[in-house]
Chain A
Amino acid sequence: MKRRKFDVAAVPARTAGALDDRFSAATPLRKLLNKVFPDHWSFLLGEIALFSFVVLLLTGVYLTFFFEPSMAEVVYNGSYAPLRGTPMSAAYASSLDISFDVRGGLIMRQMHHWSALLFMAAIVVHMLRVFFTGAFRKPRETNWIIGSLLFWVGFLAGFTGYSLPDDGLSGTGLRIASGIILSIPVIGSWVSSSIFGGEFPGTIIISRFFIAHVLLIPGLLVALISVHLGLVFKQKHTQWPGPGRTNENVVGERMFPRYAIKQAGFFLVVFGVIALMGGMFQINPIWYFGPYEAWVVSAASQPDWYVMFLDGSTRLMPGWEISIPIGDGYVIPPLFWPTVVLPGILVGLSTMYPFLEARRLKDYRHHNLLQRPRDVPARTAVGAMALSFWVVLTLSGGNDVIADKFQISLNAMTWAGRVGLLVLPPLAYYITYRICLGLQQHDREVLAHGVETGIIKRLPDGRFVEVHQPLSAAEGHEGLDYVGWVVPKKMNRLGALGPAVRGFFYPIEKPAEAPVSPGHPPVEPRPEREEISSGESRH
């Protein structure tokens, strides 16, 4: 039999052909490879959340190999000497084992915790970006709702995970959670006893939280994240206004290879930063807290940062109970308002915001171009109001530490928080609104009269005026229209001064010829700037 010569070079084409015969993949793959993504640094914030989630899954799976979700009492006999001989739950003992007796277990635990904090932080910052630039408007309301739900599901994931080690601090958090559930009118005690399997703490809550933390909640997160990304893909990303950019197109880079490569690099950078943090910065040193005992707590017990605003609202709430004198009497405890009602309002307001705004502005069109925060003063001011509300609550969540470190009376801190919570948000609204208007006005001013050159001219009658460089070349300039994008306000943005020399520690290019004197045109005409450029380059 004659042996055919095997042509190595033809293998990829043959394989691809064989695959396409079966899956007819070429056409959809072409579309995928060609998809255009707009580029701007602020579009990468959500990716940080996505990448931390990947790290969470990787490190989390590792931890499940060693964690024992059981509240059975054991006596610790591991290598951490100070706790040897202490009775504790198997969950706490196995968490100590992960920290001390599993080689490399501690860095995995710390990376898991840090990436959880980063995940929540990236979600919040991403959400702020989407909010302040109006990226949530039609047709993207669904993705805004999914995004806000992701925060709360992430919140649950964080809380259940934080409770699993069953150490002194997390047990206190669990105790507060049971108090919060108890505070719900009518059904509180039933819900609490059903979740805890009887009276707090019972013997089953860690196992239940475990399955919620490793299966139910991550499953929900994966589902929501998939839909979130799928919708971004389907609806195409928003973009900043700019030359050549319209509501009907996407200006940017094709997805492959450059965009995808940058994503891969960014993922590794996020992963690397989490590894550095997990190794170098201690987090949740459970061995100092001891096992959970209902009678032990220490001062300065704070939850993770994204829970602190609820802790703060709980601290600021005055002890107002509502008693209902029917029969033996019923009560609505003060705990109910800041921990159940407030989050409920926050979920409702945040998810409904796109519809509220569209209704108020009677604006039901598609919007694919982002808005600069200054151009929508009312929304920006509302955002600033919400932020200041949140900051007051978060700071109040650590008000005992602030009081201690700065030697302020604790009660004064609480009062400052109560007053601040009512006074600062409206103030933030007003100030932000005025700043937005001021920035808008300055943009219009530069467009109408030109850029300040810094050259002072003395007129024959003795007055001094500053020379302005008009932006439009036309004679008898009426000024330019504002198009929702950055207005150059410095001469070197116009190319009148040489651009900044590129390079990190030393220049990697020859400095451009500086003009003889600022304001004068350069000696040689500068090379034409590209008429269309992606958002990352300087204008």
Chain B
Amino acid sequence: MSTHIEHQAPQGREPLDVNDPRLSRFDIVQEGARRDDIEIVHYEPQVVPGSKAERRMTRTVATFFLLTGLAATAFLVVYIWWPWQWEPGRGGDKWYTPLLGVTLGIALLAVGFGILTWGKKLLPKEVSIQDRHDQPSSSEDRRITGETMLYMADELGVRRRPLLGASLMAGLAPVGLVAAAPLVGGLIQNPHKNNQMFTTGFKPVDGKKIRLIREDGRPIRPADVSVGGQLTVFPGVDGGVSNKYADSPTLLIHLRDGDAEKSRVANARVGHGDYMWGNYAAFSKICTHAGCPASLFEQQTNRLLCPCHQSQFLITDNAKPVFGPANRPLPQLPIEVDEEGFFVAKSDYTETIGPDFWERP
């Protein structure tokens, strides 16, 4: 059954009569291949039937398949009986997903390797040569197809009846727009509705100044922030501590005396002389680069670092960007303490919060 075929020139070959009873099944396969311009030039069984090598390979493949059955069963056992509900601590439930993965993985890998071994080791090796036939169509066919298409245009008579073409175009153009209109019209939102890009939750409501509150909603007294300390604060409005006011989170910093003095000088230089209250300054936490919260405050250098792209802002110099990709300072919130002793925003931010955009003044 060792079928080693020598290469034969396919040209000028008589097609075989496939109904000839003397032909073997392989002869017919080979004839079929030839009719598709394929020459099977080398075909060789890898194992001798009945040989020790064949039996060994068969056993290997069978072992793989049985291993799959075993692993799949193990998967089901784990899935049904292993404790899976989350418990605190290092309980058995932490092994649930890994065990599922291992059993499923082994099941799939074993059947995969079984099939691969079957295909690679037990099936005959062959080398076939197929003609590519990637030449373009014949020039005759090209001409026929081209003329046919042009003839279609002739039949339609677009050239003789230009009005039809023009009116169809004129008619279809609005139809295309009709398809686009509901989508664009439905999605489009004016970014400047309610002046939302230039206001935050700290905008005074009915002339009433907005308090600075903590994450738990309590207002803040100056004594709540220790020297050198900082606190994330929010506008004391409904929903102020939520993503509804994603542009409002602010960092309240209690500077040390020397740093506060530097800050005041810097403030005065840009006309923000009264933005600080005592040694306290408040800056927007939303990075002016891409909008991440710039939240890593280095007390020693008074630098605020945004962990997303490492923009660094020097707090004592109006939060000017000193390193990284940001191009403008963090806006400063003018603050003071109201008659009850809590921090309030004197007004809304006087500069635009968050990532830069085209029409930011």
- A residues lining the B interface (CB < 8 Å): 30-31, 34-36, 73, 79-81, 100, 103-104, 106-107, 110, 139, 172, 175-176, 178-180, 182-190, 192-195, 197-201, 235-236, 244, 247-254, 257-258, 261-262, 264-269, 271-273, 275-280, 292-301, 311, 314-321, 328-335, 338, 366, 368, 399-400, 410-411, 414, 530, 532-534
Contacts and interface: CB of A to CB of B under 8 A. Distances in A.
B98 A280 contact: yes
Contacts of A280: 98, 101-102, 105
Given A201-B243, A266-B116, A250 B326 contact: no
A120 B268 CA distance: 53
Contacts of B193: 193, 198
B115 A411 contact: no
A279 B42 contact: no
A314 B132 contact: no
Interface string B171-208: 00000000000000001111111001100000000000
A45 to B, nearest CB: 17
Contacts of B279: none
B109 A269 contact: yes
B38 interface: yes
B129 A176 contact: no
A294 B132 contact: no
B41 interface: yes
Given A268-B111, A301-B308, A314-B309, 18 more contacts: A110-B101, A172-B308, A179-B290, A187-B358, A189-B192, A190-B188, A250-B132, A254-B128, A257-B123, A258-B119, A276-B104, A277-B101, A299-B307, A300-B307, A335-B289, A366-B134, A368-B132, A411-B312
Contacts of B197: 189, 199
B216 to A, nearest CB: 12
B321 A176 contact: no
Contact of B115 (A30, A172, A180, A261): A261
Contact of B120 (A190, A262, A279, A333): A262
Interface string B27-59: 000001101101011100000000000000000
A258 B310 contact: no
Nearest to A303: B308
A298 B109 contact: no
Contact of A294 (B84, B97, B108, B246): B246
For the side of the interface on B, what is the size category?
Answer: 35 or more
A195 B196 contact: no
9 contacts: A107-B104, A186-B358, A187-B358, A192-B357, A194-B189, A198-B193, A268-B115, A330-B359, A334-B326
Contacts of B311: 319
Contacts of A410: 310
Given A179-B355, A249-B131, A532-B41, A295 B232 contact: yes
A331 B100 CA distance: 54
B324 interface: yes
A294 B102 contact: no
Interface string B118-137: 11100110111111101000
A31 B36 contact: yes
Contacts of A81: 86, 88
A279 B99 contact: yes
Contacts of B356: 182-183, 321, 331, 333, 335
Contacts of B285: 295
A257 B123 CA distance: 8
B104 A193 contact: no
Given A265-B116, A280-B98, A331-B360, A273 B109 contact: yes
B222 interface: no
Contacts of B112: 265-269, 271-272
B324 to A, nearest CB: 7
B295 A318 contact: no
B359 A262 contact: no
Interface in B89-106: 96-102, 104-106
Contacts of A199: 191, 196-197, 246-247
Contacts of A73: 242
B97 A106 contact: yes
A192 B115 contact: no
Given A106-B97, A192-B191, A275-B105, A292 B358 contact: no
A183 B242 CA distance: 25
Contacts of A414: 310, 323-324
Given A249-B130, A254-B33, A272-B109, A261 B118 contact: yes
A216 B324 CA distance: 37
B262 interface: no
A533 B126 CA distance: 8
A265 B112 CA distance: 4
B113 interface: yes
Contacts of A262: 115-116, 119-120
Contact of B325 (A110, A180, A314): A314
Kindly name the residue among B85, B111, B128, B193 whose own CB sees the greatest number of chain A CB atoms within 10 A: B128
Kindly name the residue among A198, A268, A318 whose own CB sees the greatest number of chain B CB atoms within 10 A: A268
A472 to B, nearest CB: 23
B296 interface: yes
Contact of A253 (B128, B191, B296): B128
Nearest to A321: B327
B354 interface: yes
B292 A297 contact: yes
A533 B127 contact: yes
A107 B100 contact: yes
A286 B6 CA distance: 62
A300 B309 CA distance: 10
B151 interface: no
Contact of B38 (A34, A110, A298): A34
Nearest to A258: B123
B291 A250 contact: no
Nearest to B104: A275
A220 B102 CA distance: 33
Contacts of A104: 79, 84, 100
B107 interface: yes
A190 B321 contact: no
A230 B325 CA distance: 45
Nearest to B189: A193
Contacts of A328: 359, 361
A273 B107 CA distance: 11
A251 B128 contact: yes
A183 B357 contact: yes
A331 B358 contact: yes
A332 B132 CA distance: 53
A22 B243 CA distance: 62
B328 interface: yes
A279 B100 contact: yes
A183 B190 CA distance: 16
A503 to B, nearest CB: 12
B249 interface: yes
A235 B42 CA distance: 24
